[in-house]
Amino acid sequence: MARIKHPKILTASDLKQGDVIFFTGTGWSRHHLDAKPAQTDGEIAALEAQAKADVAANRILDVQIIDVALREDGRPEPIHYREKMRTLGPSVRRDLGKQAAS
C-alpha cells in the first residue's frame, strides 16, 4: 500500500447529539485525540467504507476525511484551522462545546 502525504482521520456529525465526532477504529468519540489515523490508501478506503455504512444506518452525516499531524504520543491533531475549530466548539461562545469542559 502506498503511503500518503498526511495521515487522515474520519470525522462526521452525530445525528442524535448533533456533535462533531471522530472514528476510533471501533466506534465514535467526541474527542479527536481518540481518532484512529489512517496512513495508507487501504486504511483510508476502510474509513470511507465505515462512513458509508454509518450514513446508510442514519447514525452520522457531514462525513469528512481530514488531514492530521501526529503528536509525539501518536495521537492526531488536525492540520487545518477549520478542523481545529471543530474540535473545540462554537468560536462565538467559548462557554459552550468541548472547549467549555477544558
**DSSP β-bridge partners for residue 22:** 11, 29
Q: Give the model's pLDDT for residue 11.
A: 97
Q: Give the model's pLDDT for residue 102.
A: 66
Q: Which three cell numbers stand for residue 5?
A: 502525504
State the average pLDDT for the chain.
Answer: 90
3-state DSSP assignment of residue 52: helix
Contact 65, 78 (CB under 8 A): no
pTM score, two decimals? 0.86
3-state DSSP assignment of residue 81: helix
pLDDT in tens, 32-78: 999 999 999 999 999 999 999 999 999 999 999 999 999 999 999 99
One-letter identity of residue 50:
Q
